[in-house]
Amino acid sequence: MADREFDVVVYGATGFTGRLVAEYIAATHPDIRWAMAGRSEAKLESVRDEMGVPASTPLIVADSSDPASLKAMAERTRGVVTTVGPYQKYGEPLVAACAEAGTDYVDLCGEPAWMRDVIDNYADKAKASGARIVLSCGFDSIPFDMGVFALQEAAIAKTGTPIARVKGRVRKMKGTFSGGTAASFFETMARVKREPEVLGWLIDPFSLAGGFKGPEQPAGDKPIYEDDLGSWSAPFIMAAINTKNIHRSNALMDHRYGTDFVYDEMMLTGPGEQGEQMATMVAKDRSMQDNPPKPGEGPSKEERETGFYEAMFTGMTAEGERMTSVVAGDRDPGYGSTSKMITEALLTLIDTDHDTTPGGVWTPAPALGQPLIERLQKYAGLTFSME
């Protein structure tokens, strides 16, 4: 792998998020060997020049409709970042190429049904070739997966046992979800119409956990007042994705969080009548369905740089002590922070030896662990802390 031409290929580099990834690599990691990839060489050249990325940056023409081009691309690089979604529409040929070539892979997928397909169809092939396929390396699900990981590692270090019941709560957030997230949602709904059995995967919090079935989990689908937090909480749109990934992480780590682990995610809206009204408003919000952002479009540079988020992960130890980890990001979640997180995920992955993380289909926490937290804090504007 080390003798391959590139360390990183950014596939989808002409798209909105792909451009941000390319800009971030050029600005932050100029010493890595990398290339931009997409369907059109002319567009790649134009985008490279528009962004001010060095003219010497190699360009690769590859297209999901041309498996041979993806195979050739995968064989030239140690790892691929792909921002080309919806993944259930465009993603499988690249996963297949990477699994065959032993090439590391990270994506921004928030499509549980497709993720289930990848696990079922490519885990064994990836194990055989040594490819590490790490799904959901953006806002869904790195802050949440790694936030729970940080809390549980702290609890185990302090008490010797994990926390059985963890609440993930978004405390602050300013920014927009990506057009890709909206497109993925609609593609998922279309698939449910074609394949009704897929609905069961979407409902089951353990559908990505390799056959493991844990205890009943909170629904998180309506506003609630939480006495222990002194706040109203509202449903959180990413919970259906993040919770599945976190239960998969637990399963992949031989149930380091316990086989009785219970986890849910919601958004804190504050105490009193105002908090209740806000929670009700959030629960009724249909902007993702009724007025979704379009793929390829996104917020301005100023909007990205003034965005932020903060999530906490809290629970009681067996001794009755509350422990809380906090993850905060310094950019809007769907674009500015995501483009940095996915890049650092791949750079962590290609620096991780195969004895630590062998080939297979992974989530971020078990694949990347503490080294990813360290890179995110050093380069990507995230902070991890204990309260």
Distance CA(99)–CA(118), nearest Å, equals 10
Q: Are residues 154 and 217 in the same domain?
A: yes
Tell me whether residue 1 is in a domain.
Answer: no
Co-location of 127 and 213 in the same domain: no
Which CATH number belongs to the domain containing residue 45 in this structure? 3.40.50.720
Domain-located, residue 173: yes
The average pLDDT across 247-252 equals 98
According to DSSP, residue 351 is labeled T
Q: Which residues have a Cβ under 8 Å from the Cβ of 220 and sit 6 or more positions away?
A: 235, 236, 239, 264, 265, 266
Q: Is residue 151 part of a domain?
A: yes
Q: Domain tally for the chain?
A: 2
Least-confidence region, from 191-205, 217-231, 259-273? 191-205
Task: Report the candidate in 143, 182, 380, 141 with the shortest Cα–Cα distance to residue 297.
Answer: 182
Q: What is the mean predicted confidence (pLDDT) over 293-319? A: 87
- Please give the share of the chain, as a percent, with pLDDT higher than 90: 86
pTM of the entire predicted model: 0.96
Tally of CB atoms within 10 A around 294: 12
Query: Which of 48-57, 187-196, 245-254 tops mean pLDDT?
Result: 245-254
Q: Is residue 387 part of a domain?
A: no
Q: Is residue 48 part of a domain?
A: yes
Q: Are residues 183 and 327 in the same domain?
A: yes
Look up the domain containing 45 and give its range. Answer: 6-139+338-381
As a whole number of angstroms, the distance between CA 370 and CA 277 comes to 39
pLDDT averaged over every residue in the chain: 94
Residue keyed to tokens 């802390």: 385
Last residue of a domain, one of 296, 311, 333: 333
Would 47 be classed as within a structural domain? yes
Q: Pick from 293, 314, 333: which residue ends a domain? A: 333
Do 273 and 296 fall within a single domain? yes
Task: Classify residue 224: in a domain, yes or no.
Answer: yes
Q: Is the pLDDT of residue 34 over 90?
A: yes
* Res 177 pLDDT > 70: no
> Are 84 and 226 within one domain?
no
Does 386 reside within a domain?
no
The answer to whether residues 235 and 362 belong to one domain is no
Residues 81 and 156 in one domain: no
Q: Is the pLDDT of residue 2 over 80?
A: no
- On whether both 173 and 187 belong to a single domain, the answer is yes
- Does an H or E element contain 268, and which? strand 262-270
If asked whether residues 321 and 208 sit together in one domain, one would say yes
**Residues 106 and 134 grouped into a single domain:** yes
Is residue 132 domain-shared with residue 244, that is, in the same domain? Answer: no
Q: Using CA atoms, how far apart are residues 212 and 209, in angstroms rounded to an integer?
A: 6
Residue 86 has pLDDT above 80, yes or no: yes
The pLDDT of residue 287 is above 90: no
- Do residues 147 and 287 share a domain? yes
